Structure 1
Amino acid sequence: MPTTPLAASVRPHVPAFEWTLLAVLATCWGASYTFIKIGVATIPPVTLIAARTLIAGLLLLAVLRVRGVRLPKDGATWRRFALQACLNSVLPFTLIAWAERSVDAGLATILNSTSPIFIFLLGWGLGGAGKPTLQRLFGVGAGLAGICLIVGFEALQGLGHSLLAQLALVVAAVCYGCAAMFGRVFKGLDPMVPAAGSLLSGAALLVPASLAIDRPWTLAPSAASMLAVLALAVLSTALAFTIYFRLIKTLGPMSTSAQAYLRVPIGVTIGVVCLGETLAATAWIGLACVVVGVVAMTMPDTQLLRRGLRFLRGF
């Protein structure tokens, strides 16, 4: 699930339909954690993710064909697609699927929503993020505090049986951050081209791994798991990517980045309603910290300050 870089101001007079699409996008990505939870009940993680990337990649390829856009044929670009696949799908998708065998979908949603924080930290460490502002540092602090509340408290309580799974979700968020940084090499390409190319490259890596590790012909997945994989590929990957790249053009990168924190409460709610999950008190506090941190990281400084002042004037 990519996180958009910040750019210019919000575009005025945007039709309400585009904001509806933004809510649909956040729902598609928020629901993916519930789909994964249902899928891994009877399908091993590698096979589940291989099916997700293959189906979604083929669907995006079909969309490109309808649009008359062709994938590049040079080896250098496809090597970049393969690296992007490792960072944006193969590693994070597999880590999330593996983690959700022992972690609730709602908790996975929270921990994996921290990628904007790691994008900032990576950019700062590599010298490409400019001078950090107080707001950005506050966002990093709030987000990391949320992670510590969720992961650290359980470890101290002696409930560390799921600690590795929780750390895997954090590593997946770091992978998404690296993917966003590396994705700059595709500047100049139609945005859907690297999405399709990286998914197809990921499928080329994952399908053989699935055949060798899981021997999928010996599996007996439930109907619910198979439907979850289909929903994951069609709704949370192919459809979500299509909407995402449309919104980049209609809403602009800054407004589209709102999905980064919209999908957190949506994903948690879907897990609670559909799977009957419950979150500990510290997880709810951690959720609030993560949402505040991501908002601070994705909203321009001046806009957040103006909104804060308007809020204070209301008292």
Structure 2
Amino acid sequence: MTDQTAKPAAPAIEFALLLALATLWGASYTFIKLGIATIPPVTLIACRTLIAGLLLLGILRLRGIALPRDGATWRRFLVQAVLNSVVPFCLIAWAEYTVDAGLATILNSTSPIFTFLLTVAITRHEPVSFRKLFGVLAGLTGICLIIGLQALNGLGRELLAQLAIVAATVCYAGAAIFGRGFKGLDPMLPAAGSMLSGAALLVPASLLLDRPWTLVPSTSSVLALLGLSVFSTALAFVIYFRLIHTLGSVGTTAQAYLRVPIGVGIGVLFLNEQLGPTAWIGFACVFVGVVAMTLPGRAPRTAAPKPAG
């Protein structure tokens, strides 16, 4: 078996991948908002999973890697699809009819909290250290500072849609924990298998509910769907399953904290938005929180052998 022990340069690589994943998934809320303007949520997500699954399948074929054939693995793919795509994707897409993309990002950024709580209460598969607890608290503090307390005024409106996003967040937390079971597989296999399994559930639902042949989607919605499928799904999920193995479920979901500062940064660069000093302090808190939750722990020291005699 190949030794998969992390090399000294690995932490920097994993942090870079964590940032890339946060960017790809942070952009997905805008893609969804543009997509549902003329494409119903179930059809949008059905196309998202189908396109991403087929793209990943094609890449696997080029790499000479075959999908598993046993039923047990495909049942696990199906569970992963329900937790990580079918249910949360549809809930978020439906919610964004009435919830702004920014508020959806904020609500969904709480996934590390639910992963942490599920880990503590149920699975206990990762050590619950003070450092990780500090990371959770620092990340939440940073988000509150960045968005400002006035942004929370909208939490009372459109309650059902906002609860739907929170429910999607809980699904993501469960998926991050369940995804650890694919550790022996190439990261593209669970990504492709879960996307194809999700499409198998969603395409028939789309045909029954939306009659997609009657739709006339706009160019912007189609482009948003392609961006959502290729970048925020296919590429993002390959990175996601790698990070589940290297950073753990709690560490991987810490990328949710990076979505908000990334969105703020885009606003500063392209929309001439201004950041106050409090927001910069919040960004620092988020960065510290992510580092605290994802930095590998020290290996236990091996006791020196006692001299004989």
Matched pairs, number: 292
The reply on whether 1:71 has 2:67 as its aligned counterpart is yes
Label 1:274 to 1:69 Cα distance change in 2 as closer, same or farther (>3 A).
same
Identity %: 69
Larger Rg: 2
Shift of 1:55: 0.1
Using the alignment, how far apart are the partners of 2:19 and 2:154 within structure 1?
38
Alignment partner of 1:103: what SS? coil
Q: Name the stretch that deviates more: 285-294 or 108-117.
A: 285-294
Shift of 1:68: 0.8
TM-score by length of 1: 0.75
Unaligned runs of 5+ in 2: 299-309
Residues 109 and 268 in structure 1, CA contact (< 8 A), matched pair in contact too = no
Q: Name the stretch that deviates more: 96-105 or 46-55.
A: 96-105
Label 1:201 to 1:111 Cα distance change in 2 as closer, same or farther (>3 A).
same
Using the alignment, how far apart are the partners of 2:133 and 2:93 within structure 1?
31
The amino acid that maps onto 2:160 is L
Label 1:13 to 1:37 Cα distance change in 2 as closer, same or farther (>3 A).
same
The reply on whether 1:213 has 2:206 as its aligned counterpart is no
Using the alignment, how far apart are the partners of 1:18 and 1:137 within structure 2?
20
1:61 is matched with which residue: 57, 60, 84?
57
Residues 105 and 268 in structure 1, CA contact (< 8 A), matched pair in contact too = no
The amino acid that maps onto 2:247 is P
The reply on whether 1:200 has 2:196 as its aligned counterpart is yes
Shift of 1:21: 6.0
The amino acid that maps onto 1:43 is I
Using the alignment, how far apart are the partners of 2:83 and 2:133 within structure 1?
25
Residues 33 and 93 in structure 2, CA contact (< 8 A), matched pair in contact too = yes
Partner of 1:253: 247
The amino acid that maps onto 1:298 is T
Shift of 1:77: 1.5
Label 1:58 to 1:87 Cα distance change in 2 as closer, same or farther (>3 A).
same
Label 1:13 to 1:84 Cα distance change in 2 as closer, same or farther (>3 A).
closer
Residues 195 and 241 in structure 1, CA contact (< 8 A), matched pair in contact too = yes
Shift of 1:63: 0.9
Alignment of 1:10-25 (within 5 A): 11-13=7-9, 23-25=19-21
Label 1:291 to 1:273 Cα distance change in 2 as closer, same or farther (>3 A).
same
Alignment of 1:156-305 (within 5 A): 160-244=156-240, 252-253=246-247, 257=252, 259-270=255-266, 294-300=290-296
Shift of 1:296: 3.9
Alignment of 1:95-174 (within 5 A): 95-129=91-125, 132-141=128-137, 160-174=156-170
Using the alignment, how far apart are the partners of 1:188 and 1:162 within structure 2?
42
Partner of 2:27: 31
Alignment partner of 2:66: what SS? coil
Residues 57 and 200 in structure 1, CA contact (< 8 A), matched pair in contact too = yes
Using the alignment, how far apart are the partners of 1:106 and 1:23 within structure 2?
18
The amino acid that maps onto 2:194 is S
Shift of 1:166: 2.2
Unaligned runs of 5+ in 1: 1-6, 303-315
Using the alignment, how far apart are the partners of 2:204 and 2:63 within structure 1?
30
Alignment of 1:38-53 (within 5 A): 38-53=34-49
Shift of 1:162: 2.4
* RMSD, aligned CA: 4.1
Using the alignment, how far apart are the partners of 1:19 and 1:287 within structure 2?
16
For CA contacts below 8 A with separation 6 or more, give which structure has more relative contact order.
1
Alpha-carbon displacement from aligned partner over 1:133-160 (angstroms, at most 9, x marks no partner): 333333444566789998x9878x5863
